[in-house]
Chain A
Amino acid sequence: MSWNADRAKTRIREHLKTVPAVDSNIALDSAQAQTTVRKSGLIGRLPIRQAFLVEGVHLYGQLLDFDGLVAEGGSETEGSHRRLLRFLNMHYRVWDAVVDNDDGDRVDYHGARLHAVITSPAGDAAAQITRAVALAGKLSEAAERLGQAHGFPSRIRFGIDHGRCLAMTTGRSHEKDTLFLGRPANHAAKLAAAEDEAGIFLTETAQQRARPGAVRKSAGRTVLDETYIRDAVGSFAFDSLERRVDEVAQDAVEPIFRFKRPELPLASVKFADLSPANSVRMGMASIFADIDGFTDFVDQAIEGGAVEITKAVRTVHVIREELNSVLNDDFGGKRVRFVGDCIQGCVAEGERTDDGPGSVRQAVICANGMRSSFDLCLDAVDSDAAIGLAIGVEYGPTPMTRLGYRGDDSVRCAASRATINAERTQQSIEGSGIRLGVVAQQVADAAVRRIIATGRLMSFDTASDLLGASQSPAVQIMRSEPAARSHAARSKR
Chain B
Amino acid sequence: MALDAIADTVPPWAEFRRIGTRAAEVDAVLVRSSGAFTRLFELEVLHLAAEVTVYERVRGKTLPTFCPERHINADGSFCLGLRAGQGINSATAATWWTKLHAFLLCQETAAEAGLWPSGAQLSHGDAGDIELLAEQAAAETGASAAYRDAVEFDIGPIAAGLSRINKATGRLRNGRSPCLCGRKHRTGKPLLRRECQCLGCPIELEFERRAAVDRFWRSMSGLQCCGTMLECRLKAIARSS
A493 contacts chain B at the CB level, 8 A cutoff: yes
Partner among A3, A486, A490 whose Cβ is within 8 Å of the Cβ of B106: A486
Q: For residue B183, which residues in chain A have a CB less than 8 angstroms away from its CB?
A: none
Interface contact B112-A458, CB-CB below 8 Å? yes
B120 contacts chain A at the CB level, 8 A cutoff: yes
B55 contacts chain A at the CB level, 8 A cutoff: no
Task: List the one stretch of A121-129, A151-159, A213-221, A470-478 in contact with chain B.
Answer: A470-478
B68 contacts chain A at the CB level, 8 A cutoff: yes
Smallest CB–CB gap between A104 and chain B, Å? 46
Interface contact B32-A473, CB-CB below 8 Å? yes
> When chains A and B are docked, how far (Å) is the Cα of A490 from the Cα of B129?
12
B74 contacts chain A at the CB level, 8 A cutoff: yes
> When chains A and B are docked, how far (Å) is the Cα of A456 from the Cα of B109?
13
B118 contacts chain A at the CB level, 8 A cutoff: yes
Residue of B nearest to A473 (CB): B105
B103 contacts chain A at the CB level, 8 A cutoff: yes
Interface contact B219-A491, CB-CB below 8 Å? yes
> When chains A and B are docked, how far (Å) is the Cα of A3 from the Cα of B75?
38
Smallest CB–CB gap between A330 and chain B, Å? 10
A1 contacts chain B at the CB level, 8 A cutoff: no
Interface contact A446-B81, CB-CB below 8 Å? no
B124 contacts chain A at the CB level, 8 A cutoff: yes
Q: For residue A487, which residues in chain B have a CB less than 8 angstroms away from its CB?
A: 71, 79, 81-82, 84, 121-124, 128
Interface contact A474-B105, CB-CB below 8 Å? yes
Q: For residue A454, which residues in chain B have a CB less than 8 angstroms away from its CB?
A: 113-115, 230
B114-135, CB under 8 A of A: which get 1 and which 0? 1111111111111010000000
Smallest CB–CB gap between A370 and chain B, Å? 13
A252 contacts chain B at the CB level, 8 A cutoff: no
> When chains A and B are docked, how far (Å) is the Cα of A490 from the Cα of B82?
11
Q: Evaluate whether A485 and B105 lie within 8 angstroms (CB atoms) in the complex, with A5-B36, A458-B112, A461-B33 already known.
A: no
B30 contacts chain A at the CB level, 8 A cutoff: yes
Q: Evaluate whether A447 and B113 lie within 8 angstroms (CB atoms) in the complex, with A460-B33, A472-B33 already known.
A: no
Partner among A466, A473, A481 whose Cβ is within 8 Å of the Cβ of B99: A481
Smallest CB–CB gap between B143 and chain A, Å? 16
Interface residues of B in 41-90 (CB under 8 A from A): 68, 71, 73-75, 78-82, 84
Q: Evaluate whether A491 and B122 lie within 8 angstroms (CB atoms) in the complex, with A4-B34, A4-B35, A465-B117 already known.
A: no
Interface contact B109-A489, CB-CB below 8 Å? no
Smallest CB–CB gap between B6 and chain A, Å? 16
How many Cβ-Cβ contacts under 8 Å join chain A to chain B? 163
Interface contact A461-B82, CB-CB below 8 Å? no
Q: For residue B115, which residues in chain A have a CB less than 8 angstroms away from its CB?
A: 450-451, 454, 466
> When chains A and B are docked, how far (Å) is the Cα of A460 from the Cα of B79?
26
B208 contacts chain A at the CB level, 8 A cutoff: no
> When chains A and B are docked, how far (Å) is the Cα of A471 from the Cα of B152?
21
Interface contact A465-B109, CB-CB below 8 Å? yes
Residue of B nearest to A485 (CB): B122
Residue of B nearest to A453 (CB): B230
Smallest CB–CB gap between B101 and chain A, Å? 6
Interface contact A489-B33, CB-CB below 8 Å? no
Interface contact A492-B112, CB-CB below 8 Å? no
Partner among B36, B98, B113, B120 whose Cβ is within 8 Å of the Cβ of A486: B120
Residue of B nearest to A491 (CB): B219
Interface contact A474-B120, CB-CB below 8 Å? yes
A222 contacts chain B at the CB level, 8 A cutoff: no
Smallest CB–CB gap between B133 and chain A, Å? 14
Report which residue of B34, B108, B128 has the largest number of chain A beta carbons within 10 angstroms of its beta carbon.
Answer: B34
A253 contacts chain B at the CB level, 8 A cutoff: no
Q: For residue A4, which residues in chain B have a CB less than 8 angstroms away from its CB?
A: 34-35
Interface contact B125-A488, CB-CB below 8 Å? yes
Q: How large is the interface on A (under 10, 10 to 19, 20 to 34, 35 or more residues)?
A: 35 or more
> When chains A and B are docked, how far (Å) is the Cα of A484 from the Cα of B104?
11
Q: For residue A468, which residues in chain B have a CB less than 8 angstroms away from its CB?
A: 117-119
Interface contact A465-B106, CB-CB below 8 Å? yes
Residue of A nearest to B104 (CB): A474
Interface contact A464-B33, CB-CB below 8 Å? yes
> When chains A and B are docked, how far (Å) is the Cα of A481 from the Cα of B120?
10
Interface contact A486-B34, CB-CB below 8 Å? no
B155 contacts chain A at the CB level, 8 A cutoff: yes
Interface contact A446-B155, CB-CB below 8 Å? yes
Smallest CB–CB gap between A484 and chain B, Å? 4
A80 contacts chain B at the CB level, 8 A cutoff: no
Smallest CB–CB gap between B116 and chain A, Å? 7
Interface contact A466-B220, CB-CB below 8 Å? no
Interface contact B121-A485, CB-CB below 8 Å? yes
> When chains A and B are docked, how far (Å) is the Cα of A491 from the Cα of B77?
11
> When chains A and B are docked, how far (Å) is the Cα of A483 from the Cα of B99?
8
Partner among B35, B98, B113, B120 whose Cβ is within 8 Å of the Cβ of A458: B113
Smallest CB–CB gap between B84 and chain A, Å? 8
Q: For residue B112, which residues in chain A have a CB less than 8 angstroms away from its CB?
A: 458-459, 462
B19 contacts chain A at the CB level, 8 A cutoff: no
Interface contact B32-A484, CB-CB below 8 Å? no
B16-34, CB under 8 A of A: which get 1 and which 0? 0000000000000011111
A40 contacts chain B at the CB level, 8 A cutoff: no
Q: For residue A306, which residues in chain B have a CB less than 8 angstroms away from its CB?
A: none
A469 contacts chain B at the CB level, 8 A cutoff: yes
A372 contacts chain B at the CB level, 8 A cutoff: yes
Residue of A nearest to B73 (CB): A489
Which residues does B use to contact A, with CB under 8 Å? 30-36, 68, 71, 73-75, 78-82, 84, 95, 98-99, 101-103, 105-106, 108-109, 112-126, 128, 149, 152-153, 155, 216, 219-220, 230
Q: List 26 A-B contacts (CB under 8 A).
A: A446-B149, A446-B153, A450-B118, A451-B113, A454-B114, A460-B34, A461-B34, A461-B108, A464-B33, A465-B105, A465-B106, A465-B117, A466-B115, A474-B109, A474-B120, A477-B98, A477-B101, A481-B95, A485-B82, A485-B122, A486-B81, A486-B102, A487-B71, A487-B128, A490-B124, A493-B74
- Nearest first, the 10 closest Cβ-Cβ pairs linking A and B are A486-B71, A461-B32, A446-B153, A490-B125, A487-B122, A474-B105, A464-B33, A465-B109, A488-B124, A484-B102
Q: A465-B108, A478-B119 are in contact. List 14 more A-B contacts (CB 8 A).
A: A461-B109, A465-B105, A468-B117, A483-B81, A483-B95, A484-B120, A485-B82, A485-B102, A486-B71, A486-B81, A487-B128, A488-B124, A488-B125, A491-B219
